[in-house]
Structure 1
Amino acid sequence: MIDVVERINELMRIKGWTAYELSNQTGISTNAIYDWNKTGATPTMQNIIKVCEAMDITLGFFFCGGDYKYTDDEKRLLNKWVALSEEQRKVVTDLIYSFNKAKV
């Protein structure tokens, strides 16, 4: 498993950002960013998402690296997916699986 704080620091170095710049880009307080490094606090998933959005990277890239960028259509679908209830996600997933079976 990756060290989330180290990954954020790595991405900040790549961008040439300070904690102050990251704070300006994300709305996360500089104190919170400093605490991640000083106290070993772990950023929330919401804050990781803010970091990814500010750096124009996907969560997949954040956690796994690589250079894949989602298309606008994929981003729209993922944003819709996140808003679905568990029951709705199951219905959509079952529908996708049925499409895949129909290809056979």
Structure 2
Amino acid sequence: MGETIELNIQRLIEAKGWTIYRLSKESGVTVSALYNIGKKKQGPYTETLVKLSSALNCTLDDLVKK
């Protein structure tokens, strides 16, 4: 699941013209946590997903669906 979320995040930040550092600043999620999302088999905590979806102005489904 983490790999899917990582790919979706990358797609969404590219669409906004952001970098991973900008997403970190906007969401309050550390850069190291963002880099580690794809390495976790279960994916990030719900709280992290909520912060990311809020910063990216997308739904949780946009982050987790293939």
> Given the two structures, how large is their TM-score scaled by the length of structure 1?
0.51
1:47 Cα shift? 0.9
Letter of the 2:36 partner, please give it: D
Q: Which has the higher contact order (CA 8 A, sep 6+)?
A: 2
| Equivalent residues of 2:8, 2:62 under 8 A apart | no
Q: Which runs of 5+ in 2 are unaligned?
A: none
| Equivalent residues of 1:52, 1:58 under 8 A apart | yes
> Given the two structures, how large is their TM-score scaled by the length of structure 2?
0.74
Residue 3 of structure 1: SS of its match in structure 2? helix
**In 2, distance between residues paired with 1:61 and 1:4?**
9
Q: Which runs of 5+ in 1 are unaligned?
A: 65-104
The count of aligned residue pairs is: 63
**In 2, distance between residues paired with 1:3 and 1:52?**
14
| Equivalent residues of 1:28, 1:47 under 8 A apart | yes
1:57 Cα shift? 1.6
Q: State, as a whole percentage, how many aligned pairs show the same letter.
A: 29
List 4+ stretches of structure 1 deviating above 6 A. Answer: none
Q: What are the superposed Cα offsets for residues 32-80 of structure 1, whole Å, 9 maximum, x if unpaired?
A: 112224xx1222221111111111122244445xxxxxxxxxxxxxxxx
| Equivalent residues of 2:8, 2:63 under 8 A apart | yes
Letter of the 2:6 partner, please give it: V
Structure 2 CA distance for partners of 1:61 and 1:35, relative to 1, 3 Å = closer
